[in-house]
Amino acid sequence: MVQAIKWVGEVVPAAPYVTTLETLDKYNCDFCVHGNDITLTVDGRDTYEEVKQAGRYRECRRTQGVSTTDLVGRMLLVTKAHHSSQEMSSEYREYADSFGKCPGGRNPWTGVSQFLQTSQKIIQFASGKEPQPGETVIYVAGAFDLFHIGHVDFLEKVHRLAERPYIIAGLHFDQEVNHYKGKNYPIMNLHERTLSVLACRYVSEVVIGAPYAVTAELLSHFKVDLVCHGKTEIIPDRDGSDPYQEPKRRGIFRQIDSGSNLTTDLIVQRIITNRLEYEARNQKKEAKELAFLEAARQQAAQPLGERDGDF
């Protein structure tokens, strides 16, 4: 999954949890980067302590509103408050903000904040390249919810269909996805799904809020050469028609078997099954981070000559 992110050059499987200078040197890395939240060892030490002391550490600010905690909360609460047209209720906001946190916890890195999409964020993720002469324009469409390895396997297979592919992914509106998926799907709203798909190295462009039916106008506008769909069931349009009838009529429709059995539904079922274990893990992590923060505050409050290492 990480290898499919277009900014990743190489993946090191089973990397050590504590990053050392030895690891950086082994893989010819000048420095390591982490978000501005903390990660601790079991004994409460900063996992990046060694590389920080050596000046080979860089930090990025976490993106507000992008939170695994929030996504899991949406699955467990079966709420639609995250959909782009829905107003977040005060009850959901209160529950989501305390989800999986230890009693009295006020950790700045855990909890839920609203994700605010901006044009600058999209520009940072988008390639900005238009199809070039000789490239095969391939159109795929769907929810691409909880963007996962099943989606990546599918897109990789589609990418292999042409020597020079230009893949356009159409993302359906939240209300459209909810219509054919039901429950509280999509778990990720349209803005979040857009960035997830744009980050994939196999995708060249995204249609934000694509029509459910692949129309003649859409095919002509993007000069589409091929339309692909996975092996999942094709739900008829609201009028009962086949949403892929136009590309099928033109003879440019292909069904692709990704070879993966992972689905968004399966991920949600895993989370629900492991709910208690997940909440206990979150609370334990929160308590450890709060203890670290308190120790850091006490250290900072001590007179200069009394601090550790000053004698």
Mean pLDDT per 10-residue run, the chain (311 residues)?
96 94 96 88 89 96 75 81 63 49 47 68 89 97 97 98 98 96 93 94 97 98 98 94 98 97 93 79 75 77 59 37
Q: Where are the beta strands (DSSP E) in the chain?
A: 32-35, 57-60, 136-142, 165-171, 205-208, 226-229, 253-255
Instruction: Check residue 32 and give its pLDDT.
Output: 96
Specify if 23 maps to a domain.
yes
Specify if 98 maps to a domain.
no
Q: How many residues does the chain have?
A: 311
Cα separation, 96 vs 74, in Å, equals 8
Cα separation, 5 vs 15, in Å, equals 18
Q: Which amino acid is at 78?
A: V
Q: Are residues 154 and 18 in the same domain?
A: no
Q: Are residues 198 and 259 in the same domain?
A: yes
| 180: CATH | 3.40.50.620
CA-closest candidate to residue 252, choices 286, 289, 222, 207: 222
Count, in order, helices (H) and strands (E) of the chain: 12, 7
Residue 226 · residue 196 · CB < 8 Å: no
Residue 199 is classified by DSSP as: T
| pTM recorded for the entire structure | 0.79
Residue 88 · residue 79 · CB < 8 Å: no
Q: Are residues 28 and 73 in the same domain?
A: no
Residue 40 is classified by DSSP as: B
Cα separation, 22 vs 45, in Å, equals 18
Q: Are residues 54 and 124 in the same domain?
A: no
Instruction: Check residue 114 and give its pLDDT.
Output: 61
Q: Are residues 40 and 180 in the same domain?
A: no
Specify if 309 maps to a domain.
no
Specify if 299 maps to a domain.
no
Residue 139 · residue 219 · CB < 8 Å: yes
Which residues share a beta bridge with 137?
166
Q: Are residues 45 and 140 in the same domain?
A: no
Q: Are residues 186 and 274 in the same domain?
A: yes
User: CB within 8 A of 3, min separation 6: which ones?
Assistant: 11
Domain count, the chain: 2
Instruction: Check residue 224 and give its pLDDT.
Output: 98
Specify if 13 maps to a domain.
yes
User: CB within 8 A of 233, min separation 6: which ones?
Assistant: none
Q: pLDDT by residue (tens digit) across 120-163?
A: 888 889 988 999 999 999 999 999 999 999 999 999 999 999 99
Structure tokens at 144: 């691409």
Residue 206's φ and ψ, nearest 5 degrees, are -125, 135
Specify if 12 maps to a domain.
yes
Residue 170 · residue 244 · CB < 8 Å: no
Instruction: Check residue 294 and give its pLDDT.
Output: 79
Specify if 90 maps to a domain.
no
Q: Are residues 165 and 30 in the same domain?
A: no
**Which residue range forms the structural domain that includes residue 166?**
64-79+110-293
